[in-house]
Structure 1
């Protein structure tokens, strides 16, 4: 269980996140939606402790994440993997090395500085790339890959952390529809096969409806909607986005074709490997 209790983050006189409370059961895939400036990214950074809450508490499985310091905080950064919109890869390093960097929090400082990785870690990294359908890029510099490929490398790196929670901050914002689908398919596959809790910020309503079991809508730093895709009515959408009339969702659609609301995949189903 991931639980937020009256969590706020204030910058100067502005509350980017204002008294937010909700709980996420283990293994759920949650989409957080809202306008730019609604507080989505700040919320995500507090969950990962890249930003500290001004007040309130964040608890995961009985551990007060918001109070962690030192080595305990480093372990949380390992257990709570983060995927960013900008990928955050090292462009000059090859893809395989970028993926293995996900093991840094498991290793000694000396081995990390020298860049020494074990045979087992290399096998893990190749397996992660194969799972995401980009094993053929292993020896290429990461900077030579397309945006969609780089985001899949970032997901493979996150898998190397063997996390308990996977956070994705606008993971498809800069991708074309085909690559957006590949990345979201990968996140759902991880959620369903490993049972890892996935929380992702999204700009597009069709994506949230199609992939997430639960949707949280934010406006002005507060949660103004919390429900299933079926509960996300026109009235709820207008409340989230502050619109007076119906929003044409096709204007921000990332779908190649219309997609249905979230429906669990069959047990053991594998994600297709798409280059």
Structure 2
């Protein structure tokens, strides 16, 4: 269970996140929606501890991650993998090496300094690339790949961390609809097959509805909606996105990416997997 207890983050006089309180059980796939500046990215960065809360606390499995320091903080950032909109790969390094960098917090410092990876780690990296259907790019420089391929490399790197949670900050914002679907399909597959909690910031309502079992809407740094996709009514959308300059409701068409996930299959797959996950 991830518990966010009345968390606030200020930047000077600006309140980016304002008194957010959430509980997210293990294994959920959660979409956070809202306008730019609503506080979505700041919230994820506080969970991962890239920035600290100004007030409040964050707990995971009973541990207060908002107070961790040193090696325990590094372990948390290993367990809570972060995927960014701009991929954060090293363009001059080959794809395989970029994926292997996900093992850094699992290894002694000396091996990291010498850039020595074991045969088992290399096999893990190739397996992750194969899973994402980009193993053929392993020896290419990361900077030569398309945006969609680079984001899949970033997901493979996150898998190498063997995380307990994945945070994805606008992972499809810079991608075309086809590549966006590939990336969202990959995140959902990880959520279903490994039972890993996935929390992703999204600008697009159709994507959130099709891929996420729970949607959290933020506006002005606060949570204004928290529910299932079918509960995201016109009134709820208005609370999240407000109205245009003429007072008319925001059209959902402006947030559409034409991504169509296979939601019935997702629900069926989750139902079938739950007994297996429980036994594991």
| TM-score in terms of structure 1 length | 0.94
5 Å-filtered alignment, 1:31-46, equals 31-46=31-46
Report deviation, 1:250.
2.3
Say if 1:234 and 1:38 are closer, same or farther in 2 by CA, change over 3 A: same
Aligned to 1:245: 248
Say if 1:158 and 1:209 are closer, same or farther in 2 by CA, change over 3 A: same
- Structure 1 runs not aligned, ≥5 long: 269-275
Aligned to 1:17: 17
- Structure 2 runs not aligned, ≥5 long: 274-280
Q: Partners of 2:33 and 2:161 in 1: how far apart?
A: 26
Report deviation, 1:249.
1.7
Residue 176 in 1 paired to residue 179 in 2?
A: no
The answer as to whether partners of 1:191 and 1:197 remain within 8 angstroms in 2 is yes
Q: Indicate the RMSD between aligned Cα atoms, in angstroms.
A: 1.4
Measured against aligned partners, the alpha-carbon deviations of 1:121-149 in whole angstroms (never above 9, x if no partner) come to 00000000000000000000000000000
Q: Partners of 1:17 and 1:261 in 2: how far apart?
A: 34
Report deviation, 1:72.
0.3
| TM-score in terms of structure 2 length | 0.93
The answer as to whether partners of 2:210 and 2:261 remain within 8 angstroms in 1 is no
Say if 1:166 and 1:23 are closer, same or farther in 2 by CA, change over 3 A: same
**Helix, strand or coil for the counterpart of 1:8?**
strand
The answer as to whether partners of 1:238 and 1:245 remain within 8 angstroms in 2 is no
5 Å-filtered alignment, 1:102-181, equals 102-181=102-181
Report deviation, 1:108.
1.2
The answer as to whether partners of 1:181 and 1:255 remain within 8 angstroms in 2 is no
Aligned to 2:276: none
Measured against aligned partners, the alpha-carbon deviations of 1:182-206 in whole angstroms (never above 9, x if no partner) come to 0000000000000000000000000
Measured against aligned partners, the alpha-carbon deviations of 1:223-274 in whole angstroms (never above 9, x if no partner) come to 0000000000000000101124333222221125586589425347xxxxxx
Aligned to 1:88: 88
- Aligned length, in residue pairs: 268
Aligned to 1:222: 222
The answer as to whether partners of 1:87 and 1:150 remain within 8 angstroms in 2 is yes
Aligned to 1:272: none
Q: Partners of 1:257 and 1:6 in 2: how far apart?
A: 35
The answer as to whether partners of 1:210 and 1:262 remain within 8 angstroms in 2 is no
Q: Partners of 1:218 and 1:205 in 2: how far apart?
A: 13
Aligned to 1:3: 3
Q: Partners of 2:160 and 2:261 in 1: how far apart?
A: 33
Aligned to 2:202: 202
Say if 1:6 and 1:263 are closer, same or farther in 2 by CA, change over 3 A: same
**Helix, strand or coil for the counterpart of 1:162?**
coil
Higher helix proportion (structure 1 or 2): 2
The answer as to whether partners of 2:181 and 2:261 remain within 8 angstroms in 1 is no
Say if 1:240 and 1:69 are closer, same or farther in 2 by CA, change over 3 A: same
Q: Partners of 1:155 and 1:258 in 2: how far apart?
A: 19
Q: Partners of 1:37 and 1:261 in 2: how far apart?
A: 33
